[in-house]
Every structure is written in structure tokens, then in C-alpha cells.
Structure 1
Amino acid sequence: MKLNVSHQTHYTYAQQVKRSTQYLRLTPQDSSHQKILSWDLTLPEFATRTLDAYGNVLHVLTLDQPHQAITIEANGVVEIEDNVEDDNCGHLSPLVFLRTSPLTQADGAIRDFASRYYRPQAQHESLRALMGELLMKMPYSPGTTTVKDSASQAFSAQQGVCQDHTHVFLACCRSLGIPARYVSGYLYTEDSTHVAMHAWPRHGSTATGRAST
């Protein structure tokens, strides 16, 4: 399936700023289940391109003149296949995705929740069941959290959006010794032409590190 992607990010500052630097990760990569046929960024100024430590394409955009708003556009064509089980992190060790972060630190409540549903002899199935229970415990509730809320805060509030579900699931997996990572992109739905950026987790095997949804 070929998808035409047209993405726009527009934001404003409360007051005019003299200078700003943006770190943009808006360029998808070829993988076992997607091929980038064309991709272009439209930016207000030239941006340097490099790879970050995880292998993501990173553009660094610096605006030296006063401004109060920025518009960033990305357009391209992506061919996808339903083959996500054969996706891994390439050159990165699974150990990288066992590390915690301020937003994915598991507290006692999250560790107890994870251990309640996890069965090592049926890792993939039990993690799917854990995610199902998590979605029931934390109903999708737009506007109830911010990007600064941690996994423990969202879990305690028992509500959140896709980023919160992902943060909590990562905290669960890592507390169990299972490598897991945060993925962002688009969730394709046939009944909608306008979609927002989505987030979801990928977990690996404790034995091989290979990724699964």
C-alpha cells in the first residue's frame, strides 16, 4: 500500500524570540515493512542533517532572526507492508532499551501491575494482555495530561493519551527486564484523511531482542 503523507507543524511563541533552535525528527526511514519513495521537508531556513545516537534522521534548524511563529512541513510517499514482526533496531543492542528515563521510571504500583499479568513462558501473549488491561485501567482521555507527565503520574491518575499509554508500557516492560522503545508516526485509518501524530511501544524478546508490537 502506498500512502501520501502531508504533515504540518505550526506553533507560536507567547512573545517574539530573538533566536531558536529546533531538533526535527520528521524523516522516516526504510525498514522491513516500509519503503520511502519520496520525502521532502519545507523549512523556513536551511537545516543541517545528521543521524542521532539511535539512527534517526535529525535536522537541526536554527533561526537567528526575531520571530514569533514557525511552520514546518513534511511531504512524501511511503510504501508499507504488514510485516512488523520482522523489525528490529539494527545496530543497537537491546540493552539500550532497558534503560529508564525520567518519563518511563517504574514505581511500585507499575511494577506490581506488570508482574501481575506477565508470564515468562508466554511473553508475547502476556504482554498483549497487559496492554489490554492497561487500556482498560487508563481510558483514552485527551487533555488530561501534558508532555511533561511521567508514567507514574499518568498511571496514578488512571487516564491519558497514547504517549502516556506508551510510557507506562515501557516502564512495565523494562521493570520486567524486557527491552522496549517508543515509536512515533501515523496510525492509518481508512475513514479519515486528517490524522495526528501517534505513539506506540515496541517490545523485544528477552532472548533475542527482536521487536514485536
Structure 2
Amino acid sequence: MILTVEHVTRYVYDMPMRGLVQSHRLRPSDHDGQTVLDWDVTVTDGLRGGSFRDGAGDLNESWSVSGPVSEVEIRVSGRVRTEDRAGVLRGLRETVRPECYLRETPFTRPDRELRAMGDAVEGMPELQAAHALAERVARAIVWTPGATDAGTTAAQALARGKGVCQDHAHAVIAVARHVGIPARYVSGYLLAENVQDAAHAWAELYVGGLGWVGFDAANACCPNANYIRLASGLDAQDAAPIRGSSRGGGQETLDVTVAVRQAQQ
């Protein structure tokens, strides 16, 4: 199918900032099951800098905005042709070895409960274990918008039993790494009927013989043609589509709208 994306991120400052610099990973990469037909990123009064493709296959672009800056809007729009590959990622040109994704981060450090969840799948074939741990996370953390925030760890979300896609992904990653399965965080888009206030996220686990396989515990499925893969990293912070800093003492307000729809074909 063909999916269209309209993604707007707006930063508003209560006093003008002297300027800002950002690094974006807002352009999807082509791979088996995902072909970018057209894509555009614009930044209000922004100056596009250099770009490079990192070892994970993600395109990084730098932007700067000179002050005084009271408001900045980042607008992303485009069309992507997608196919259902049962969550298996193939055809992405990357050079990072899977073993690099066994490293813990503060967001994905397992506590006793997460380790116990992993111990329950020990001894299973790797693919079966990956599905089982994703299913366990899906049952243990109920989708509850507003129950957590950007700083919530996998252990905290599991203890609350509530969370959003970021929490599900972090928990799957934490358990997978505990049992020796390389795992990483993926940011992207998901087809939805309504306008959303954030992009989507899921986990990818490296399964011998298959390679990277996506698991979206928030929706109890593997990514299919309804998904657009954007960028990856060790956790949500590492895989963030937008990172940067601003110069000045003002307070920042963030507003995000995401609309993903199926195009007429």
C-alpha cells in the first residue's frame, strides 16, 4: 500500500532564543518492503547543513536557526510504498554488528521483575522466545496514554503496569538483552484513523537465521504494511528523530501532530 505522512513539530519559546541547532533523522530509508516515493522536510527559517548515513543505515541531517527565535516549526510530508514482510527487516544497508545492541542503557536496565520475565523464556528456540517475551510485555503493560512520560524506564513502566509504545519497546528490549538477544529501539509511523500527538515506536530483535525482526508489543503484532520505519538506536533517546539544543534562557513548549493515512492507489 501507499502511506502518506504529515508530521508537524512546533517549538514555542516564552522569550526569544539566540538560536538553535538540531540533528534530524526524519527521512525513512529504503529497504525490502519500504520504498520512499517522495519526502520533504522543512524548518522555519532553517539552514540545512551537512548530512550523512550512519552505521545503522539512518540518514542524519543537521539544521540551524539563527535568532532571535520565538517559534520553530518542523514539517515533514511524504509518501511511502509499504509491503507486509512479517516484521523481518531485509535490504537495509548497515554496518553496526548486532552484538552492539546488547548494551544496557538507563531506560532498558532490567530489574528483578524484567529478569524474571526473561528467565521464563530461557531454553526456547530464539524466534519462539522473541515472540513469547513480546507477548508477556504486551500483557504486563496496558496501553494507557499519560501514565508515563519521556523519562520513564522499562522497570518503572512494568511496575506501574501501564504505559505507551515507548514503554513497551523499552521493556521488550530490556528482557531480550537479558537473555542474550540483541535488541534495539525503532522510531517510525503507524497508519491510524485519527491524528496522533506523537510518532510510533517498537522494538527490533536480532534472530539467528532471520536477522532483525520487529515486535510492536503495544499492538501485539509484528510491523506490517501499516508501518513506516524511520530510525533506530539503543533506546528512545538514542533513536530520537529530532535532537538538538537552543541558546537562551527561555522555556520551551512542544506540540506534535502526526497524520498517517492510506493513499488512493
Which residue pairs with 1:109 in the alignment?
113
Shift of 1:98: 1.0
The residue that corresponds to 1:30 in the other structure is: 30
Greater shift, 118-127 or 145-154, is seen at 118-127
More helix by share: 1
Matched, 1:124 2:123: no
Name the structure 1 match of 2:243.
none
> Which residue in the other structure is 1:212 paired with?
213
- CA deviation string 1:95-143 (max 9, x = no partner): 1111111211112221111112x14433223322322222221111111
Match of 1:141 among 134, 137, 144: 144
Quote how far apart the aligned CAs of 1:177 are.
Answer: 0.6
Bigger mean CA deviation after superposition, 60-69 or 118-127: 118-127
Provide the C-alpha distance between the structure 1 equivalents of 2:60 and 2:156, rounded to a whole number of angstroms.
30
Which letter maps to 1:51?
Answer: R
Long gaps (5+) in structure 2: 215-265
Describe the shift of the 1:38–1:88 C-alpha distance in structure 2 as closer, same or farther (beyond 3 A).
closer
| Contact kept in structure 2, 1:179 and 1:209, CA below 8 Å | no
Q: Distance in 1 between matches of 2:107 and 2:91?
A: 23
Q: Which amino acid aligns with 1:46?
A: L
Amino acid across the alignment from 2:48: A
Identify unmatched segments of 5+ residues in structure 1: none
CA displacement, residues 22-52 of structure 1 (integer Å, 9 cap, x when unaligned): 2211100001110111111111212222233
Out of 168-177 and 102-111, give the one that drifted further.
102-111
Contact 2:55 2:95 in 1 (8 A): no
Query: How far did 1:5 drift?
Result: 1.6
Counterpart Cα distance in 2 of 1:198 and 1:7: 12
TM (norm. structure 2) is: 0.73
> Aligned residue for 1:50?
52
Shift of 1:86: 4.4
Q: Distance in 2 between matches of 1:14 and 1:179?
A: 43
4+ runs deviating over 4 angstroms: none
Corresponding position: 1:184 with 2:187 = yes
Once the two structures are TM-superposed, the CA of residue 193 in structure 1 deviates from its matched residue by: 5.2
Q: Rate the CA distance shift 1:59–1:4 in 2: closer, same or farther, 3 A.
A: same
Contact kept in structure 2, 1:87 and 1:212, CA below 8 Å: no
Is residue 7–residue 74 contact of structure 1 (8 Å, CA) maintained in 2? yes
Structure with the greater relative contact order (CA < 8 A, sep ≥ 6): 1 or 2?
Answer: 2
What's the counterpart of residue 74 of structure 1? 76
User: Structure 2 vs 1, CA of residues 171 and 88 (structure 1 numbering), >3 Å: closer, same or farther?
Assistant: farther
CA RMSD for the aligned pairs?
A: 1.9
Matched positions, count: 209
Residue 107 of structure 1 aligns with an amino acid whose one-letter code is D
Q: Which residue of 2 aligns with 1:6?
A: 6
Secondary structure of 1:66 counterpart: strand
- Judge conservation of contact 2:16–2:67 (CA < 8 Å) in 1: no
Find the counterpart in structure 2 of residue 194 from structure 1: 195
Distance in structure 1 (CA, Å) of the matches to 2:96 and 2:210: 10
Q: Are 2:96 and 1:92 equivalent residues in the alignment?
A: yes
Closer, same or farther: CA 15–54 of 1 in aligned 2, 3 Å:
farther
Residue identity (%): 31
